[in-house]
């Protein structure tokens, strides 16, 4: 009997040959979730200047222009303008020290009466030093000018330039900017050659400045000092003194590293 047909019925089907085309077979895809890209494009900086920052910078920039104008034409605005601006730079030295203390009193949690007493107490203390300058120059305006400069240095806090909760940090940055600029430009204008511009020997002879020293003998150096100082501080105020790192401020280095 022929059992070949029955044998073929019970044989398992042959596996497809590797040569069989699988072009029409569905593609097997991986079930891996998509990986988020870490390549982020840098955010373009915004160069817009907030109104409080602009308002705080205007007085300093205006003083810088005044120093430059007096440096070029010393008697155009007033005959004794050089002497006034020289005394202004001496007052700014006191402002640089007192503004940090007054600023901390201003943003403290004390009552309004406590803040008023603290501000007046510090003001009276520093007014003693200003009074000495007034006696030396035989002028009373430095006493009023002292409070005007103090308001200018604290203007960023008074008009709300500092973000909420960062007032103390802003005061520290303002103080650091003033101190660095004052010291750097004081040394630069003392040891580096500075042009006379309009302050000729004839003008110096007619100024009749009291006292003696480098500023008295070469008053154009003070004009250069005031121009560089107030202009730089004003530009820094436009951007909230952002160039000063928080880690460089007193008491902020440890918290920034944590």
For the stretch 147-160, pLDDT in tens is: 888 777 777 766 76
Per-residue pLDDT for 172 more than 90?
no
- Give pLDDT, residue 157: 66
Per-residue pLDDT for 185 more than 80?
yes
Phi, psi of 21 (to 5 degrees): -70, 135
For the stretch 217-254, pLDDT in tens is: 999 999 999 999 999 999 999 998 989 888 877 666 55
- Give pLDDT, residue 232: 98
Two tokens, residue 78: 């007033």
Which has more confidence, 233 or 29?
233
Q: What is the pTM of this model?
A: 0.73
How many angstroms separate the CA atoms of 226 and 182, rounded? 9
Q: Which residues of 105-122 are buried (b: 16+ CB within 10 A; e: fewer)?
A: bbeeeeeeeebeebbeeb
């Amino acid at each position: 009997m022929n059992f070949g047909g029955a044998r073929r019925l019970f044989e398992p089907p042959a596996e497809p040959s590797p040569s069989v085309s699988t072009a029409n077979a569905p593609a097997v895809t991986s079930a891996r979730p998509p990986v988020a890209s870490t390549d982020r494009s840098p955010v373009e900086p915004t160069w817009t200047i907030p109104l409080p920052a602009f308002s705080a910078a205007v007085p300093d920039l205006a003083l810088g222009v005044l120093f430059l104008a007096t440096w070029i034409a010393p008697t155009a605005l007033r005959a004794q303008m050089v002497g006034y601006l020289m005394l202004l730079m001496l007052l700014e030295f006191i402002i640089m020290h007192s503004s940090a203390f007054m600023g901390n009193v201003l943003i403290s949690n004390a009552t309004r009466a406590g803040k008023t007493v603290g501000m007046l107490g510090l003001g009276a203390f520093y007014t003693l030093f200003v009074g000495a300058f007034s006696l030396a120059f035989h002028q009373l305006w430095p006493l009023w000018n002292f409070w005007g400069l103090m308001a200018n240095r604290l203007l960023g806090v008074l008009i709300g330039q500092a973000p909420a909760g960062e007032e103390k940090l802003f005061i520290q940055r303002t103080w650091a900017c003033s101190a660095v600029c004052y010291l750097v430009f004081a040394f630069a204008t003392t040891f580096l050659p500075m042009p006379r511009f309009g302050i000729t020997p004839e003008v110096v002879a007619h100024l009749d400045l009291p006292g003696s020293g480098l500023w008295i003998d070469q008053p154009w150096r003070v004009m250069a000092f005031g121009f560089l100082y107030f202009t730089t501080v004003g530009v820094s105020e436009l951007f909230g003194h952002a160039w000063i790192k928080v880690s460089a401020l007193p008491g902020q280095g440890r918290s920034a590293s944590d």
